Amino acid sequence: MKKLDGKIALITGGGRGIGRAIALAFAREGAAVALVARTATEVERVASEIEEECGVETLHAACDVSDAASVGRAFARLAEKFGRGCDILVNNAGIAESAPLSKTDDEMWQRHLAVNLSGTFYCTRAALPRMIERGWGRVINVASIAGKTGAPYIAAYAASKHGVLGLTRSAALEVATRGVTVNAICPGYVDTDMTTRALANIEAKTGRPAAETLEAIKRMSPQGRLVTAEEVAAVALLLASEEGRGITGQAINVDGGSVLF
């Protein structure tokens, strides 16, 4: 028996980076995987990769998690494909932009709250009733160490991720006796396209070479490196599995020791 045999996992933002790594980790342990993202071509590619490597059922669909109606359609497609709701929900879809607080306009602020926080809320609200009905479920929210500490120039991002941690803790307590766990993973800087884009943005705005900024970021970690998407996925697999049933309401750092609470 594999750890997730018979389980159905829905992963938002599943087309690249952390989402892709989690999808592969779950599929390798036997889970059927539904992948949603705003860019349909990316999740289609990952779904094909999973089917070829792991031989499990997949679903891929376009979904804007900031739109409750779009989330509803994605969950309807999931039920149509698999005959029921998901056992495991990974709220991974997110955005990260930077600007001084005085230059953070209303649109940027609302984008972060809509995608990072409301998106997590909409998907969790859609998934929980059937998890409670079956007496088993896992909700895993991909947050950030910025949700614990904050940092200059990321007020909108940090605020949205702080909100995700509050949502995680409250939801976990509501369902603690119902066989459902709700947890967050708080990565530091991860070796993904998101970090690469952030470095390019810094270079464009400041003229500081991306390679120089990358080295400075690495020095922020006691381990002197970026963490990998696969390391984040390994924690997600623990939380999704039966071995993780005693962990709920937690925000687990995967950051090389940068934040110690």
pTM summary value: 0.96
- The CB density around residue 47, as the number of other CB atoms within 10 Å, is 22
Domain boundaries, the chain: 8-188+229-245, 189-226
Strand partners, 11: 35, 90
Amino acid of residue 176:
A
Q: Can you say how many angstroms the Cα of residue 166 is from the centroid of all Cα atoms in its chain?
A: 15
Whether the predicted pLDDT of 202 surpasses 90:
no
Told to judge if 122 belongs to the known catalytic residues of this protein, a careful annotator would answer no
Cβ 178 vs Cβ 128: under 8 Å = no
Assess if CATH 3.30.930.10 describes domain 8-188+229-245: no
Q: For the chain, state the CA radius of gyration.
A: 18
Q: What is the DSSP letter of 66?
A: T
Q: Can you say how many angstroms the Cα of residue 256 is from the centroid of all Cα atoms in its chain?
A: 18
pLDDT band at 208 (very low <50, low <70, confident <90, very high): confident
Strand 32-37 to 58-62 pairing: parallel
- The CB density around residue 162, as the number of other CB atoms within 10 Å, is 18
Average of pLDDT values for 18-22? 97
Of the listed 122, 153, 157, 189, which one is catalytic?
Answer: 157
Q: What is the structure's pLDDT at 88?
A: 98
Measure the CA–CA gap between 222 and 224, rounded to whole angstroms: 5
Whether the predicted pLDDT of 198 surpasses 90:
no
pLDDT in tens, 82-128: 999 999 999 999 999 999 999 999 999 999 999 999 999 999 999 99
Measure the CA–CA gap between 138 and 178, rounded to whole angstroms: 11
